[in-house]
Amino acid sequence: MKALLDRARSFKRRVDFESGEYRKLAEGQYPEALFITCSDSRVIPALITGARPGEIFELRNAGNIVPPHGRPGASGEAATIEYALEVLGVQDIVVCGHSHCGAMGALKSGDDLSALPGVDAWLELARPRLTPVLDGDVRDPSLPDIAQLNVVNQLAVLRSYPATQQRIEEDRLRLHGWYYEVDTGQVHELDTDGRFRVHAA
């Protein structure tokens, strides 16, 4: 923690806060996209996209899961999605899964998560849509397969939100599925045919 703390204490000195870029941040935020990804420390949206402060609005949780719309109780996910759409007016949402994901690994192996009841209950939101693959005909699906299917599934959940549905119909919102390899830096993009592919820059 000490290194992190030292860097935080010297941050202001290391960055040119006198520049117009930072001064402008006081006027508000106008992010281009909502970026939904895993809490995993190896996935850094700003590093991957080269985003500057103010350019992406982030929503992170274990397994980049989007809870079903209308789920009872307060939800950081529902609030963040609502704010991104209604207030910030983002026109693009990325759901980004990743390689070596612990959450997807636990779902794949059917780990006993009774010692982690919070994690267990949370992953339960993603489990039903993965069950056909986890328990079905596909023998021993790979972890990348599961993480990628989870991205497709979470996009489907997101699409079922009335606010997203309406905006997609009106061509005011686009959804994107990404799969990021933490050890190679490769970004795979979900194509319209449902397959993830690497696109040249």
User: Of 31 and 63, which has the nearer Cβ to Zn ion?
Assistant: 63
Place of tokens 């992953």: 123
Minimal distance, residue 108 CB to Zn ion, in Å:
12
- How far out from the chain centre does Cα 102 lie? 14
Contact between 85 and Zn ion by CB under 5 A: the answer reads: no
Q: Does 146 bind Zn ion (CB under 5 A)?
A: no
180 binds Zn ion (CB under 5 A): no
| Residue ranges in 100-129 that form contacts with Zn ion under rule CB under 5 A | 101, 103
- Assign residue 194 a region: left if phi > 0, alpha if psi is -120 to 50, beta otherwise? left
List helix spans (H) across the chain: 2-14, 20-24, 45-49, 76-82, 102-109, 117-123, 127-134, 143-159, 162-169
Options 38, 130, 149, 173; binder of Zn ion; rule CB under 5 A: 38
**Cα–Cα nearest to 113, from 98, 126, 103, 99:** 103
> Under the criterion CB under 5 A, does residue 40 sit at the interface with Zn ion?
yes
To Zn ion, the closest distance from the beta carbon of 31 in angstroms equals 22
Distance of CA 109 to the CA centre of its chain: 22
User: Which region, judged by CB under 5 A, interacts with Zn ion, from 16-24, 38-46, 70-78, 113-121?
Assistant: 38-46
Q: CB of 195: closest distance to Zn ion in angstroms?
A: 21
In this complex, which beta carbon is closest to Zn ion, that of residue 98 or of residue 167?
98
Total binding residues toward Zn ion, as defined by CB under 5 A: 4
Both structure tokens of 165: 């549905």
Binding status of residue 77 toward Zn ion by CB under 5 A: no
What are the structure tokens assigned to 47, written together?
A: 């590093």
User: How far is 60 from 78, CA to CA, in rounded Å?
Assistant: 12
Instruction: Work out how close the CB of 175 gets to Zn ion at its nearest, in angstroms, rounded to a whole number.
Output: 19
Supply the minimum distance, in Å, between the C-beta of residue 110 and Zn ion: 17
Element housing 97 (H / E): strand 92-98
User: Which residues sit at the interface with Zn ion, rule CB under 5 A?
Assistant: 38, 40, 101, 103
